[in-house]
Structure 1
């Protein structure tokens, strides 16, 4: 069974839904990075723009000021740990890669900023493309699908075709179904139930469900009390072929993944 990577979330923002304000200085970001690495995170995903529901865009200058000093400091202390830049903007991604980031995580699937495709072509780093209906400011107003799993499958199939047509090496592309991004509880559950379908696209799958509101709808827990629920979903996702799991806290999810992989690998 292929290994599963744990991506630790490091939001250097004042307003992210679960950890806003906790890492909004380079020193706080470094402390957060240390905690995630100690807990078992394999990759760190640094973001300077909140993409929670109803969030407003931030300026590129603010995004740069938040992310670049944090990336530089973390890379200085942990040069061996891969860093991802969570951004829709090519200017931010380019500066982050120059500062030491190793991959790009774009929630717009390289559609928000046309320059992002050229950057991805030139740098040849791994790129995560995510499905989102509309944008963070309005994605949760009234999400609608006739068949959410099929529509996401069609979206990724067409997006991969287009990116290949534009000259990107699909071997570097990771797909993220975008749990909570323009989806209701029912949509999220349907996607999770049928994650294995996306393996047919031939690309690694990232799951970013950590502490999302749909978990609270089911359990009644507040966002920072949803780590156990996050770990349960992670274990189920591993057995559907997910390659990377993006989380706020790594330790519990790391253990859940280890157990899930051990069971899946057991002799019949």
Structure 2
């Protein structure tokens, strides 16, 4: 199904986008604030030259139509949202240990919600490159009091559980989580897909090859952007075949996971290809090593300005979810972008 991809180009925003669509010169991108006037058609490993929409052959109309359809909200509030990262771990690459005590994590999460965060992503196991795995019971012991505390403090907040273990998924959903965010796209735990098919929650499928311990050896691509989209498409199809409705699915291209810094930059440059999958997109670039290489900033916690700049390209993709550590800065950046591009 994903042999043929369409890469949008020539983006317009605001009143110019609306006028171009009305004149038949452009199509809306995922029914968001952007419209595209040109495309590249990619069949296998053979991309076409850039062409205006009027020159697209008739046999590609179904693919064009798919790009213009809105992504389902996947159990989260509609519109672009900021997802706050709440790592309840001692060893995450950026803020490991900062929120390891439950009361500190609850306070931090509450502050993120007050700053305009649309969803909190709570994780009890580090999945950075080379991280050491823990048992599902250990992971649950870390996140359970945080989920309980946040549910008591902010009963209406959307909570996400960042886990690859079905035991943690099931318990977190029972404790009030609305979304499961799995960095393995439901490949790690054989019970995860069947469990989630029976639940009514959002599901984030992230692209990664191998495991956190082995993924760096799999960072070999001929065309990283097309291969990531196609491999994510396979995971979307597996979820659909397993009984999870498309309306519940989100996708994450997995920047930095089984990708070199240069490959992640190329993937970011061509992120509009993700629209081919018809799912809400989660962007997780916050404080990543690729940003350090681009900016020369060594300390992860000093990369928040770069994180905001790198996240904003996702705003063209309809209703993106921007996953960051610094929620207030990202909320400000998102609102400025919306004010400019929705005029």
| TM-score computed with the length of structure 2 as normaliser | 0.75
Aligned pairs for 1:58-69 within 5 A: 58-69=134-145
More strand by share: 2
Corresponding residue pairs, total:
266
SS in 1 for 2:198: helix
Q: Of 190, 200, 203, which residue of structure 2 is paired with 1:127?
A: 203
The answer to whether structure 1 residue 249 and structure 2 residue 326 are counterparts is yes
Q: Of 161, 182, 189, which residue of structure 1 is paired with 2:237?
A: 161
SS in 2 for 1:56: coil
Q: 1-side partners of 2:329 and 2:311: how far apart?
A: 10
4+ residue stretches of structure 1 with deviation over 6 A? none
Aligned twin of 2:309: 232
Greater Rg by CA? 2
Q: Where do 5+ consecutive residues of structure 2 fail to align?
A: 1-32, 34-77
Root-mean-square deviation (Å): 1.3
Aligned twin of 1:51: 127
Q: Is the 8 A contact 1:208 1:247 kept in 2?
A: yes
Aligned twin of 2:282: 206
Q: Is the 8 A contact 2:79 2:318 kept in 1?
A: no
SS in 2 for 1:105: strand
Aligned twin of 1:185: 261
Aligned pairs for 1:3-18 within 5 A: 3-18=79-94
Cα drift, residue 55 of structure 1: 0.3
Q: 2-side partners of 1:196 and 1:236: how far apart?
A: 9
Q: 2-side partners of 1:161 and 1:141: how far apart?
A: 26
Q: 2-side partners of 1:60 and 1:170: how far apart?
A: 27
Q: Where do 5+ consecutive residues of structure 1 fail to align?
A: none
Aligned twin of 1:194: 270
